Structure 1
Amino acid sequence: MDNPFVPTAGSTPPEIIGRHGLLDEFAYGLRVGSGAPGLLTIFTGARGIGKTVMLGGAEDLARDAGWAVISETATRGFMGRIGESMRQMANELGDTTPGRRITAVSAAGFSITTA
């Protein structure tokens, strides 16, 4: 029998079924902030189970909550790309958004918080 879980390179299905609890916990962590257990989420599983879809869902929640999001793949040059993306976001937020300033940069979470 063929495996029904076929990897689709993270393409988002029309509905994420049975996983809302995980995403709700992550969204709660975004609201609570530093130290919230939901922010320490690790998605693991067999090929095609939906890990990348879950990361995409978490990314959407973070973006909707006002976080600056960098989405990258851990391939050669990963750290350089992350650093460059952070530099560009910091410049954009600092230079082109009136009334906002960077109040925190998280190296572990690769996030920029603005006020």
Structure 2
Amino acid sequence: MPGTQHERRPPARTPRWKATCSIATRTQPHTASTGRRRSYVTHLIEDGWDPRFVQEQVGHEHASTTAIYTCVSSDFRTRTLRRHLDATVAAPLQPQPGRES
């Protein structure tokens, strides 16, 4: 029955629909979710959350997988390194109870 709703001719939008379903387009949602995951992990780490907690939040079995999604700023890296170096240097300089100086 040509000209009715039961006609078996592909609609005019089929080429556009095929382009929408292409491999390149199908990977875009994954890329978007990866960006959100990176932002989430990075913000949690930079806000001081325990790395083990962050790992469990995103469902990773290994910390190395979580590290892939962590993109902290160079300022955060510098502050963290400085804090740990200062603590490492200060610890031996502290007077210890029971020892005479």
TM value normalised by structure 1: 0.27
Of Structure 1 and Structure 2, the greater helix share is in 2
Structure of higher CA gyration radius: 2
Length-normalised TM-score, structure 2? 0.30
